Structure 1
Amino acid sequence: MARIAVGGFHHETNCFAEPKTDYAYFNIQRDRPPLVRGEEVLRRLGGSSFAMAGFMAETQDEHSLLPLLWTSGGAGGLVTADAYERIAGELVGRLSEAGDVDAVFLDLHGAMVSEPFEDGEGELLRRVRAVVGPAVPIVISLDYHANVTPAMVEHSDAMVAYLTYPHVDRAETGRRAAAALRMVLRRGRPTERALRKLPFLLPLNDQCTLVEPSRSIVAGSMVAEGDLASLAYLAGFPPSDLFWCGPAVIAHGWDQGEVDRAADRMTREVALQEPNFAVPMVSPEAGVAEAQRIAAHATRPVVIADTQDNSGCGGTADTTGLLKALVAAGVEDAVLGLLCDPAAAAAAHAAGEGARVRIALGGHAGPEGVTPLEAEYVVERLGSGRFRTTGQVVGGRDADIGPMALLRLGGVRVVVTSKRMQAFDQAPFQHLGIEPARQRILGLKSTCHFRAEFEPIAEKVIIVLAPGIYLADPSAYPYRRLRPGVRLRPLGPDHRGAAA
């Protein structure tokens, strides 16, 4: 029986978003648990949809697990120096106090940028390696959107990544990580590594694994096969401004020839598919007009994805571009969510169900040019914001997103929350009496995760480009740290203005 230290520190950093992510935010119960320590890690994460849950389920009867801490700040602005040092310091301190361990498993994201360290995970892994020494294996799970760096590869012994976007295999990824660690414990630390970075950034909208080419690319991933501990493709997170931002292929194993061949084979496959990464997107006005035409004859809802206001990419979840387009077009029987405006939710609760209340809804947090939609709204329904998620992406979580309200303006209803949550689950809509499958038009603040739950019930999905903090086209970001020569989108311009 091995003694395995386990922990997790998640953040998906949009370096162009405000506010920064502070220590308090990691301690808030939202659509995920707050920071948990020691035995509470086992209690709060067990049976959940996180990679840690799958790893624990696969190993706790076979080995002795020593829980350190686990926390997820979701997606947002830079992690403050205070937050990074307090969390990383406590995790490493608890590891030091645990004494001798046979292995370490860390449930990470892979796209964390902090004020002191642009490579948040690389620095964390360096500190963990310094504590456990050169002989103890470290296996990590990563989000599909990880920006993998040389330090992450050097200080780990297997990388196991989500194979799906929408992420419906988080727990399964933890189980695959357990299989990799089992092999590493049997054979010893892998001595060979390979990291291949692709020469272009991949917009999040183009990374969906429900369709080609991503579906076939991720199918080539391996865990504990032959002389490979792991072979993984990570699509990257473009809003993270760091030197190593972008897609990568990583292999760990015991034979350098096999490691290189596997990494090169997968890298060639991704490179050859560069022209095929593309998802059509239109303006909010064009998207609403198309949705109205389709909805007039459809028996299922038309979904409009407000992709650039996705809180899962660091968006504010309070922009009003799509909302204003729906209202201006006189749309009937439309629902938009989830729009985060705690002041509006509080005003609705003060007024009560059935009341009419004047509210300047949304548009309080930028970007420049986004303004509230001030009007008299009908308060149709109120909710506590406490519910259990049910879907494939985040199912089984006890969420608390603060007081909620269903507000109506003409034929448009808005699901308002007090804390940010991406529209990737039906439960928050149902919490306010909305059955998504019965609506004519559904506006969802999400980029891709919504597809797992809402595309199966949709007549059609339309992606719109309303102003938001997350930019669907990476070439619009003012990168400062990105390495020169990287194409800012597939077949697009090189970083620093050179022609592709």
Structure 2
Amino acid sequence: MRIAIAGFQHETNTFIDTPTQLSDFEQADSWPELLWGQDVLNVTRGMNLPIAGFAKTALADGVELLPILWCAAEPGGKVTDHAFDDIAGRIADALANMTQLDGVYLDLHGAMVTESRDDGEGELLSRIRQVIGSDLPLVASLDMHANISGQMVDLSNAMTIFRTYPHLDMAETGARAFRMMRHICANSPPAKAWRQGEYLIPLHSQYTEVAPAKTLYAALDAFEGPGARLVELAVGFTAADTADCGPSVLAYGDSQSEANAMAEQIFVELQTAETQFDTSLLSPKDAVKTARKATGKGPVVIADAQDNPGAGASADTTGLLRELVRQNAPSTILGLLHDPELAAKAHELGKGATFEVGIGGKGPGDTPFAAQVRVHYLSDGQCRYTGEMYGGGIATLGPSVALQLTGTQIHVLVTSIRNQCLDLAQIRLFNLEPTDACILCVKSTTHFRADFEPIAQNVLICAAPGQFPCELANASYTKLRPGVRKI
């Protein structure tokens, strides 16, 4: 078998005005920079990435892989048409020059929105089908936050989806995509069925270690094999204001009746689960107050859920920071706050320097937090992940600094490149030990749980202001399909 592989990932927050440029895909951040050719295999090998899992399984099966490119940009505003056309064009051109292919595999996200199109992945699949035709097997893997469209379903032969949040099974999802590809190449494309859910699920409620998400995803295992039997569930990305926003069920089977029956069964379970999701959020005041009263062993973790750069937010809001100072929080670490100018100034002044500064707060509706700070530690921002989710990869934070607010026990970790705080190594990079803190504040929604929860005595989800809406009733949607509910 000869299979072409490529990856093009973006999770688009349409509530943000700042566009995602081609340069954002070309630079390293939470993931590697844009990779070409054999580097796609060499650099991602061993990482918890779908394309790595697909490649490992395929190569072990004796498949010849033809890697084109792989890229991902940190979640943010709409992808510019220039960036989309450039990357999609490179993939299509490479495929046009390949012969004797048995299939094409794509490592996608599923919630990409461009300046001109609400369905980025559907448009990408359309352009690829124009090159490879309608008969060549085309399989993709998707993030569980995918907003799946009818075009995506129609133009692919199969799509596999992450089943854990935090996403610990990304490589396994790629491996599952290869198994579907192998079956399709040896037999024929499966029958498929697709159902869209009728309500939106806030991301902080999608945590798969608790019900009902845990129960829903556990139910999928019973459908796998033999033959083409497979059921997948996407819970959707709620910061994309599009008609396809929300959950979807995909089912593949050896007959249409089988696919329909499997999809309907999980769809009914999804609908029944609507009232079971915990959507509660604490105010910054109540979160800090609760954390200060804790008497157990280990830090209390407060998630600044609506300022999560992993969902496109700016990672520089100051609402939670202000409350920490107001309540004189003991032994606290807050990160990762994105402020390139502040990081550059700290590097210029050097370790131990004390100066007056405005921290973060550069986005709409916020202002910098004025404080005197001392430079505790400087870093070049190259951080090797040690946690389960991103283990094997390297975070590129850019020139970064740990600042201590004078007169307080509060440290703020400031980076030059937006990165979600989800790995304990990102704290230890700054010569700080997270287990010694009383309070750890992370700009993350759920991914932090995999590495932080084991050391925490409690986890609190906070709704400080930010560009990623978790309180969906307040989100200004204009394109949702009729009847979709916000829980």
Say whether the fold is shared (TM-score over 0.5).
yes
**Which residue in 2 is equivalent to 1:98?**
98
The 5 Å alignment of 1:236-247 reads: 236-247=236-247
The question of whether the paired residues in 1 share the 8 Å contact of 2:147 and 2:246 is answered with: yes
2:11 aligns to what?
Answer: 12
Instruction: Tell me, in whole angstroms, the C-alpha distance in 2 between the residues paired with 1:58 and 1:110.
Output: 22
Letter in 1 for 2:123: E
Query: How does the TM-score come out when normalised to structure 2?
Result: 0.97
CA contact (8 A) 1:136 1:189 kept: no
Amino acid at match of 2:187: R
CA displacement, residues 457-476 of structure 1 (integer Å, 9 cap, x when unaligned): 10001111110000102232
- The answer to whether the 8 A contact 1:239-1:474 is kept is no
Partner amino acid for 2:172? E
In 2, Cα distance between the equivalents of 1:253 and 1:79? 35
Distance 1:139 1:229 in 2: 15
Opposite residue 18 of structure 1, the aligned amino acid is D
Q: Tell me, what secondary structure is at the counterpart of 1:375?
A: strand
Q: What amino acid is the match of 1:336? A: L
1:55 and 2:51 aligned: no
State which drifts further: 433-442 or 221-230: 221-230
Given that 1:337 and 1:444 are in contact with CA atoms closer than 8 Å, whether structure 2 keeps it comes out as yes
Residues in 1 aligned to 2:229 and 2:31: alpha-carbon distance in whole angstroms:
30
Matched, 1:36 2:32: no
Residues of 2 paired with 1:310 and 1:280: CA distance? 17
Inter-partner Cα distance in structure 1 for 2:232 and 2:364: 35
Q: Which residues of 2 match residues 72-471 of structure 1 at below 5 A?
A: 72-190=72-190, 192-221=191-220, 225-294=225-294, 297-364=295-362, 366-368=363-365, 370-409=366-405, 410-471=408-469
Q: Secondary structure at the match of 1:188?
A: coil
Instruction: Please give the secondary structure, in 2, of the residue aligned with 1:219.
Output: helix
Q: Structure 2: how far apart are the matches of 1:445 and 1:379?
A: 21
Counterpart of 1:349, as a letter, is H
Q: Name the amino acid aligned to 1:198.
A: G
AA in 1 matched with 2:327: A
**Hey, what's the Cα distance between the residues in 2 that align with 1:11 and 1:65?**
23
Distance 1:92 1:230 in 2: 28
C-alpha contact (below 8 Å) 1:339/1:415 kept by paired residues: yes
The equivalent position to 1:486 in structure 2, one of 473, 478, 484, is 484
How far does the alpha carbon of each residue in 1:201-251 deviate from its partner, in whole angstroms, 9 at most, with x for none? 111011110100001111222575135353101000011111111001011
Deviates more, 1:213-222 or 1:328-337: 213-222
Which amino acid in the other structure matches residue 478 of structure 2? R
Checking the alignment, whether the CA contact within 8 Å between 2:423 and 2:448 is kept in structure 1 is yes
Structure 1 unpaired stretches of 5+: 490-500
Asked if structure 1 preserves the Cα contact closer than 8 Å seen for 2:403 and 2:412, the reply is yes
Which stretches in structure 2 are left out of the alignment for 5+ residues? none
TM-score (norm 1): 0.95
- Per-residue deviation at 1:254? 2.7
Aligned residue type for 1:76: G
Can you list the C-alpha shifts for 1:120-152, whole angstroms capped at 9, x where unaligned?
Answer: 001111121222222211111100100011011
Measured against aligned partners, the alpha-carbon deviations of 1:413-451 in whole angstroms (never above 9, x if no partner) come to: 001111100011111211111121221110111000011
Contact 2:24-2:74 within 8 A present in 1 as well: no
Q: Given residue 460 of structure 1, which amino acid in structure 2 is its aligned partner?
A: N
Report the CA distance between 1:69 and its aligned residue: 1.0
One-letter amino acid matched to 1:175: A
Q: What is the alpha-carbon distance in structure 2 between the residues aligned to residue 229 and residue 84 of structure 1?
A: 33
CA distance in 2: counterparts of 1:188 and 1:101, whole angstroms: 16
What SS is found at the alignment partner of 1:76?
coil
Kindly tell me the number of residue pairs found equivalent between the two proteins.
Answer: 483
Q: Distance in 2 between matches of 1:33 and 1:193?
A: 34
Name the SS for the 1:261 alignment partner.
helix
Which residue matches 1:492? none
The Cα RMSD (Å) is: 1.2
Give 1:129's aligned amino acid.
Answer: R
The amino acid that maps onto 2:29 is R
